[in-house]
Amino acid sequence: MTTTAFELLSMSLEDEFCQKIMQETKAKTNKMLRLLCCSKSWNSPLLWGHYADRHTGIALELEAPESHVQEIQYSKDRVALDLHSLMRNRHKDENAKWTMFKMFMTKGIQWAYEDEARLQFTLDDLHSLNGHDFFNLNDTIKITGLVLGVNNKTTDSRIISAVPNNHQVSITKTQMSALSFEIQEIKKYNLPM
């Protein structure tokens, strides 16, 4: 599922043939891949308002190899693309593959507050439960910390009971900044495990 109708469709699509091809490509991609969309920072109140139930949620701090992380580019306009040429060359031309990949990693400038980076998974990487897909964390991608929203009331004992044995995570408690329109750290500590 995507957060915007433009998701995975950042290119300019002036003719109906191109629109149809890219809609089909998007549908196929949605069936094969899953994206874990992250922000490189947690200071934006918009993120907490949009994605964390009005500041009551928890942001996960992840550690992942840079080779797994794909940073989103933001653009004011949809990028012009010769889709006919790209489709003819997509299997033999590395530049064509890179251009297509770039199109999938571009969003409108309105989304820049997210400062987004993505991790991509195939369905084989995941297990499903009740219509949701899950990734088993491992040494490659792991949770290193939890950032509690300004209105989050989760206790340390509740967090300790949910974290696997021998897994160290930091806890960051937050507040609204008195000087800027940002969320800021009040206190950061490690829970004894």
- List per-block mean pLDDT (blocks of 10 residues) for the chain, which spans 193 residues: 56 70 78 88 94 94 92 85 69 68 82 93 89 86 94 94 85 96 96 69
Beta bridge partners of 159: none
User: What's the pLDDT at 3?
Assistant: 53
Alpha helices for the chain (secondary structure H): 16-32, 45-51, 83-89, 94-104, 156-162
User: What's the pLDDT at 170?
Assistant: 95
Sheet of 142-148, strands arranged across: 58-63, 142-148, 170-176, 183-190
Distances (CA, A) of 148 to 64, 107, 108: 21, 27, 28
User: What's the pLDDT at 1?
Assistant: 43
pTM above 0.85, yes or no: no
**Separation CA 156–CA 159 (nearest Å):** 5
User: What's the pLDDT at 21?
Assistant: 73
User: What's the pLDDT at 49?
Assistant: 93
